Amino acid sequence: MPCRTVAACWEPAVGRPVVIVGDCMLDVDIEGSATRLSPEAPVPVVDAERVWQRPGGAGLAAVLAARGEDDVVLVTAIADDADGRRLADLLASAGVTVVALPMTGTTVCKTRIRAVGQSMLRLDHGDGTVSDGQLPDRAAQVLADARAVCVADYGRGVAAHRGLRRLLERAAERVPLVWDPHPRGAAPVPGCHLVTPNQDEAQGRSAESLRRDWQARAVCVTLSSRGAVLATDADGSVHVPVPAAAAAGSGRSDTCGAGDRFAVAATLALADGHDAEAAVAAAVEAASRFVATGGAVGVSSPTDFGAHSGAMTEPAAIVGDVVEVRDRLRRRSGRLVATGGCFDLLHTGHVRLLHQARQLGDALVVLLNSDSSVRALKGPTRPVMAAADRARVLCALACVDAVVIFDESSPEHQLERLRPDVWVKGGDYTEADLPEAQVVRRHGGEVVLLPTVAGYSSTNLIAAMRS
């Protein structure tokens, strides 16, 4: 979309960091099944099966930004306690550089207990807030170098820090600044390029009235499945709907993190030189796809459940015939997801694909090429690992519920019997490359292509080791 006004557009600054500013917390999801009521009270009993952890608040925004950006810096307050150290490790593993502000109190941790994809209860602990002292020099430096800034305010004091607000005002004069507000947080600094309240945060007010009060160049009020209403200083108000293609998907409704996904997508679009309307359109589509494919659980990391209880010391996944696997998993109910491949030397790209695939449903089956099948596809020197060993490694992953080993070059025959609700492959394929797609669709399933992680390939890893 072309730029409408000079004030709304700028040349993208390549090679400089995207900076996320705001309050960070540790989010925990305990997932399980609920099939009975407690004898002590009429409440459901959740049999916990998996624990997932991820950065929350501004930390989630930073992780989402790092999926598409090489240089993401998070300016936040982190406590030196067990939850804070776990949070720092998760951010580092996602490729996020942290500029830490001093914190008073303990790390805020939000734990959701979920069954069959639905939240049953949330438990919060921690009272950490940013200390209103002098900022580290590094904070001023990264904001001066930023090519775009996103403020994810969660009402814990970072966005209210007086020194930081002065730096943010100066940043808004030079580069795109997007502010995602919070009811308990500070007002956006004047001059923001875009402020993104949801309906509750707007408190019944129009985007235009908020824009005037906040002295912002643009404000969009997000409307969940109905898109967003955008008001700019040049073009008045316009409704930005959700594209039909983005609204389609798994049908799951976990909206956790959708606001962060929206704000980050808008920030990156503005950083690339798009005007406010084009940025909001990109953000509406990105947030809708994010929710349709499972929400924030798609960027969570599994933890050892045994650290939380004595259960599950052995892998819970099953290996067997496709009919056995199908019948056992179907008895659990919910959406059945399947993916397939050789998985000869499991790497980061594989793990991310499997993890994201699991978030599209309630059980994940991996169709694994047998040794003879791998040789037919990859040549006589493959596989490096026998099928039984590859299956054991896959079964040890918390996101895998079952593995089926098959001999054919294509999984079509297995899919005829498995009939999954979703068939997942990496984004290096197209549907034209997948003859099995017709089988999946014939039985009412959908085909989802997930993005791959650049630079990871079993073939390249094996070649490098052999050289």
Catalytic site positions = 260
Pairing of strands 148-152, 18-22: parallel
Is residue 276 a contact partner of residue 194, using CB atoms and an 8 Å limit? yes
**Of 277, 69, 302, 298, the residue nearest 193 (C-alpha):** 277
**Of 360, 297, 306, the residue nearest 48 (C-alpha):** 306
Give the side-chain half-sphere CA count within 13 A for 442.
10
Burial classification of residue 415, based on how many CB atoms lie within 10 Å of its CB (0-12 exposed, 13-18 middle, 19 or more buried): buried
Give the side-chain half-sphere CA count within 13 A for 204.
0
Structure tokens, 451: 């993005």
Q: How far apart are CA 10 and CA 91, in angstroms?
A: 30
* Opening angle at CA 297, ends 444 and 261, nearest 5: 100
Q: How far is CA 361 from CA 6, 330, 341, 353, 425, in A?
A: 46, 12, 19, 14, 15
Q: How far apart are CA 37 and CA 35, in angstroms?
A: 7
284 Cα distance to chain centroid:
15
Structure tokens, 272: 């690339």
125-148: string of b/e by CB count within 10 Å (b at 16+)? ebebbbeeeebeeebbebbebbbb
Hey, which bits of 342-466 come out as E strands? 363-369, 402-406, 422-426, 446-450
**Tokens 């052995």 belong to residue:** 314
